[in-house]
Amino acid sequence: MKRRNKVMMSALALTTSVLLLGACGKGENKKSATGKDQEAITLEMWLTPQWKGVLDDKEEKADYDSFFKEAAKRYEEKNPNVHVNVQVIPGEQRADKLSVAVQTKELPDMFFDSSFALSEYAHMGVLAPLDDIIDEKSQKDIPKSIWENVQINDKTYFYPFAHNPGTLSYNAEMFKEAGLEKYMAPEYEIANWSSDDLKVISKKLKETNQEVAPFGLFAKNNQGDTWNMSYLRMFGNQFFDKDGKINVNDETGVKALEFLDDMRKDGLTTKGVETLSSNDVNAMFQNKQTAINFTNSVLFNGIKSDMASGKVAPFDMRLANIPGKDQPVSFTYVTSSVVFDSGDEARIKAAKDFVKFYSTDKELVKASKNALPVRDSVATEFAEDMPYLKAYQDNSENIINFSNNTPGYVELRNAFFPELQAVYTGEKTAQEALNSFAENGNRIIDENTKKSVILN
């Protein structure tokens, strides 16, 4: 009898704990400000590091999650039934973390990152379209070229917040030493060179200083590969044809890769390109070991800020476009928010509402100045504080949709750099490598198009 009582008591205790634990979950009832019972919702927000602080990295305790924590605090004041947890994910762990989350069906409710990095999740059918939270005012405030970057099949999957144009940067002091003043643009403007100019500049830089690698080239992995893909557009190649297939192996693409390889062979680029990552090359640029480097607005501002704080020895750093045939090649990373389709309508609605809140709030959208604001209204407001803003805005007509939002882009990126390595190690000719990439890449696009939920 005693034993039976013990068993009964244990079972009761277990059931009570399970029920209590269940009550602590996501479906708790809370009273709202109006006194009406509303289901409490806890939302998970993930982001990769973008900028420190709410509006500025000089704020006290500024960190990568400061902005979203502040946005959550302000949102929760108006919506007491919603709580937002913010988690910063290292960029290199994005794919792993999301892959595990997809497989275990434990996706967060929202993610903030560059749209191209998340486009494959739209194809997987796990992103909720956001068209229903985009009002007419926002539509007019953000340029068409930005909207094109965040839409697939006319549906908007990414709510744009800021953007981050990719260009080249150069050490103007080295240019002056080499007598290359005529190739320099005034400070706060973006220089435009032809491919021939780039070669002349690099040769002159090398003649002046043998210790410096004129052009920072890299091909170790998919880091910074948007620049490598853009370099192949130097002689007019479009990378993708009108059907979304890869056509980089045509005459213009091959010419561009041969041009880069010749620069390498002539000692005008960094040594050991095939094992250098973009991080390595960026560090070399800061250490004055290269003269011309890849950059984007966040990297550029970061180096400027490090120069001001004494972390990097100051030098005159300026911007240039990637050379193009008829017009310069420029691209931009649109940092934006996505909402994952968790299947729970209440959670999706709350997540969309939170995204809309911080993407439209008059005060919070000012944080987009940490990169470049996508909103004309914010850009106008900060025009005087952001000396490069006009140059970037004028350059917007050169912006391409570099990923074409193609299905399987992540896989495509990983098929690309081994072919570059094959050329830079002399294993394949430019034509052979690009043929092989086009064949392999088109197979990847075909397979992923078949799998794409939103294209079928």
Partner 1 sequence: MENKKSKKKFRGIENPYSGYLFIAPQLLLFLVFIIYPVFEGFRMSFFRASYHGEQFIGLDNYKQLMADPVFLKSILNTVIFVIAIVFLTIIFGLFVATAVYDKSAKYISFIRGSFYLPVMVSMVVMSMIWNFLLNPANGLISYLLGNMGAENVNLLGSKTWVMPVIIFVTFVGNVGQSIILYIASMIGIPEDYFEAAQIDGATRWQRIHKILIPLVRPTTLYLTVINIIAVLKIFVVIQLLTGGGPNNASVTMMYYLYQNAFVYNNTGVAAAVGVIMFVIALLLSVPQFKAFGKER
Binding site for partner 1 (CB under 8 A): 95-96, 99-100, 102-103, 105, 120, 124-126, 213, 220-221, 270-276, 280-281, 284, 289, 408, 410-411, 414, 417-419, 421-422, 424-425, 427-428, 451, 453
Q: Report, in Å, the least distance between residue 156 CB and partner 1.
A: 20
Of the two residues 65 and 344, which places its CB atom closer to partner 1 in the complex? 344
Of the two residues 387 and 426, which places its CB atom closer to partner 1 in the complex? 426
Q: Report, in Å, the least distance between residue 123 CB and partner 1.
A: 10
Of the two residues 102 and 307, which places its CB atom closer to partner 1 in the complex? 102
Q: Report, in Å, the least distance between residue 104 CB and partner 1.
A: 11
Of the two residues 12 and 453, which places its CB atom closer to partner 1 in the complex? 453
Q: Report, in Å, the least distance between residue 103 CB and partner 1.
A: 6
Q: Report, in Å, the least distance between residue 121 CB and partner 1.
A: 9
Of the two residues 252 and 275, which places its CB atom closer to partner 1 in the complex? 275
Of the two residues 74 and 451, which places its CB atom closer to partner 1 in the complex? 451
Q: Report, in Å, the least distance between residue 218 CB and partner 1.
A: 10
Of the two residues 340 and 392, which places its CB atom closer to partner 1 in the complex? 340
Of the two residues 153 and 425, which places its CB atom closer to partner 1 in the complex? 425
41 neighbors 26 (Cβ within 8 angstroms): yes
Q: Report, in Å, the least distance between residue 165 CB and partner 1.
A: 26
Q: Report, in Å, the least distance between residue 28 CB and partner 1.
A: 27
Classify each residue of 76-114 as buried b or exposed e, where b means 16 or more C-beta atoms within 10 Å of its C-beta: eeebebbbbebebbeeeebeebbeebeeeeebbbbbbbb
